[in-house]
Structure 1
Amino acid sequence: MNKEDISLLFTYLQSQETAFDYLLQCYRRQNLPEAETKSYENAGALMHYIDHGRRFLTNARDTDILMMPVLLFYGMTHLCKACLLTKRPDYPETTAVLAHGVSTRKRKKKNYTFLQDEVKIQHNGLFPYLAKYLYAVGSFPFEKIRMEQLFSLIPELNQLFTFTNSQKLTAVGEKDSDQLYFPEKILDGYHLTEAAFIKRINKHAAGLTHVQTVSGYMEVVLSAPVNEASSPFFIHHETGIIYLPNDREHFLALPELLIHYLLLYNLSMVSRYETEWWGELLTARTEADFPFIRHFLHVTAEKVPLLLGKELLDQLEPESRK
């Protein structure tokens, strides 16, 4: 992800005229009807979604951790809506898509811990709508999912799991490379033969060809490099290293932005409605949850605008990005 290009695009879209020009290009590329009319109607909304989203995220980075989850969640959802508007000119079509699209247990169990908490996917709302229209994800491999599993898929949190002797991700390559290297020992975690593993990975990679196995690694070549939405691969936003879950239990074919959505939704709910637990977590720090939550909040504050900014940048014609 080119941070400078994304930042410049956000700046460029801060006027009605430039937002109109951008949307017109997006809609015409997709051959959408009434492209000019829809671009005019949506230019103001696009501009304000981006402006509000960036303000929430900027304020979140500068504020106390007490308020970070709420600011981050709403900053993210505003940028999500900006991205949706580039593909769905009539968004929101109904009030049903305005709900969050996920839910969590209203009353927490005794001895509650965030890592063991769950969120449940709803049929309607922003989350399934975003998954369908931004990432072409029409169904989910789970109905409920634990926070620990979601944390385990964030590359920047992988080192924290290493400290607990439970590392969840394995480095398999580098961003923009057309080659990946899977350690043979990963087969044990998936309970698959080499051929079956390659076949499974091939469903999620572009034109994967198994080349050879050398020095304990299965080397493969791709027809196109892995990108930020190429689940179940996850990319560290600073190092560019590509990771894959170590085992089938944590194998989740879900773009990383959707993982951030689920985590931030639940954290925002906990911080608002579980006031005593949240306050104790931040002051007494008795739970193992604290370092994971704290580090995640700082990571997502930097990564979410990059993930969504890239979605906006990718809508431009190739020559416009040079």
Structure 2
Amino acid sequence: MNEINTFLTYLQSQQTAQKYLHHCYQRLEDTDAQNRSYENCNTFIYYLDHGQRFYENGRKADPLLQPVLYFYGMVHLVKACLLTKRPYYPESAALLAHGVTARKRKKKNYSFLKDEVKIQHNGLYPYFSEHLFSHKKHPFEKKSMESLLALLPEMIPLFDLQKKVELLPVGKLYSNLLQFPTTILDSYHLTEKAFINKISGYVPDMKYVDTDDNYIRIELTAPIKEANGPFYANRADSQLFFPSRREQFLPIPEVMIHYLILYNLSMLCRYEAEWWGDLFSTKPEIDYPFIRCFLQLTADKIPFLLGKYLYALH
């Protein structure tokens, strides 16, 4: 993280930001790299600066306020990333919308974990999903908060306490070995060959596959350097995880997952004062520990992941 923080600090000048953007734009077709890098460097600097300030202040703020600060911190960092790929962003006012909606909260028996967000056709979420992560088609229309949280490796201890195994350890980043329990074939309702085909598009080419009664072992021709859905990595130890059930198979990057959860939390924080206040004062539901743990996680992981995205382009 120190290397990434140093790099983000390095970008905080017109000269270095312009040089960086010029380098990015030279890779793009039909772009005047020299002109656009000068046009965008100040905006780029402010996106980075404001995003980092939102996160810095969010870490110091009462958890009651953190979702709004973290959500808009993330939005600014995402926009900085977009400027590296889309020199004319935003091309239209429609892109300024969030790109996600949350259903109206029911007054009784509301559960955050069971609540859902719905993807819209226009707005920031589908736009950055396509241009940063090449996801033009979304594998779902709406998703529950619990199903999204279950894909984050750092949330595993909470799910373990509920006796729910949603992610399985299958390897490590920078390793070319993967190992799946053979029981996963039952939960995915697939033969070994069909399962191998299912994951083959998300990993480097496979060198060989060895199977016994307990495990499917795969050697890859190259190590996995980045965790992209359906594989997710714990930042602390680089352990790679894979969804244990077919219903949880969601091939999208973790950044997109955090955006959806943070959007919903920020809406609750802003517009559902009574429920949000009760959550922090009386802690009536299981929602509370999941929300607190997620807020602690996202405060550090999203600046790291988006900073890593920018660093990889330099």
TM-score bracket relative to the smaller structure? over 0.9
- Aligned residue for 1:143? 141
Letter in 2 for 1:59: N
SS at match of 1:14: coil
Is 2:82 the partner of 1:84? yes
Deviation at 1:220, TM superposition (A): 1.0
Letter in 2 for 1:145: K
> In the alignment, which of 49, 57, 60 is matched to residue 59 of structure 1?
57
Letter in 1 for 2:166: K
Contact 1:228 1:255 in 2 (8 A): no
Letter in 2 for 1:130: F
> In the alignment, which of 176, 179, 186 is matched to residue 178 of structure 1?
176
Is 2:4 the partner of 1:35? no
- Aligned residue for 2:286? 288
Letter in 1 for 2:242: L
SS at match of 1:29: coil
| Structure 1 residues 148-297: aligned runs within 5 Å | 148-214=146-212, 216-297=214-295
Q: How many residues align?
A: 314
SS at match of 1:171: strand
Separation (CA, whole Å) in 2 of partners of 1:105 and 1:172: 35
Contact 1:257 1:304 in 2 (8 A): yes
Deviation at 1:205, TM superposition (A): 1.4
Separation (CA, whole Å) in 1 of partners of 2:44 and 2:116: 32
| Structure 1 residues 104-143: aligned runs within 5 Å | 104-143=102-141
Contact 1:210 1:218 in 2 (8 A): no
- The gaps in structure 2 that reach 5 residues or longer are none
Letter in 1 for 2:264: N
Deviation at 1:216, TM superposition (A): 1.6
SS at match of 2:87: coil
Deviation at 1:6, TM superposition (A): 0.8
| Structure 1 residues 70-81: aligned runs within 5 Å | 70-81=68-79
> In the alignment, which of 88, 91, 109 is matched to residue 93 of structure 1?
91
Q: Please report the TM-score for the alignment, with normalisation by the length of structure 2.
A: 0.97
- The gaps in structure 1 that reach 5 residues or longer are 317-322
Separation (CA, whole Å) in 1 of partners of 2:80 and 2:199: 32
Deviation at 1:227, TM superposition (A): 3.9
Deviation at 1:109, TM superposition (A): 4.6
Q: Is the alpha carbon distance of 1:5 and 1:214 closer, same or farther for their aligned partners in structure 2, counting shifts above 3 Å?
A: farther
Deviation at 1:222, TM superposition (A): 2.3
Deviation at 1:30, TM superposition (A): 3.3
- Aligned residue for 2:9? 11
Letter in 1 for 2:167: L
Deviation at 1:291, TM superposition (A): 0.6
Is 2:304 the partner of 1:306? yes
SS at match of 1:173: strand
Q: Is the alpha carbon distance of 1:110 and 1:227 closer, same or farther for their aligned partners in structure 2, counting shifts above 3 Å?
A: farther
Letter in 2 for 1:95: A
Separation (CA, whole Å) in 1 of partners of 2:66 and 2:100: 20
Contact 1:228 1:307 in 2 (8 A): no
Contact 1:205 1:230 in 2 (8 A): no
**Percentage identity across paired residues of the two chains:** 52
Q: Is the alpha carbon distance of 1:182 and 1:32 closer, same or farther for their aligned partners in structure 2, counting shifts above 3 Å?
A: farther
CA RMSD of aligned residues (A): 1.2
Contact 1:198 1:210 in 2 (8 A): no
> In the alignment, which of 20, 24, 42 is matched to residue 22 of structure 1?
20
Letter in 2 for 1:275: A
Q: Does 57-66 or 253-262 show the bigger shift? A: 57-66
Contact 2:227 2:233 in 1 (8 A): no
Post-superposition Cα deviations, 1:145-182, rounded to whole Å, max 9, x if no partner, equal 10000000010001110110012000000111111111
Separation (CA, whole Å) in 1 of partners of 2:39 and 2:83: 11
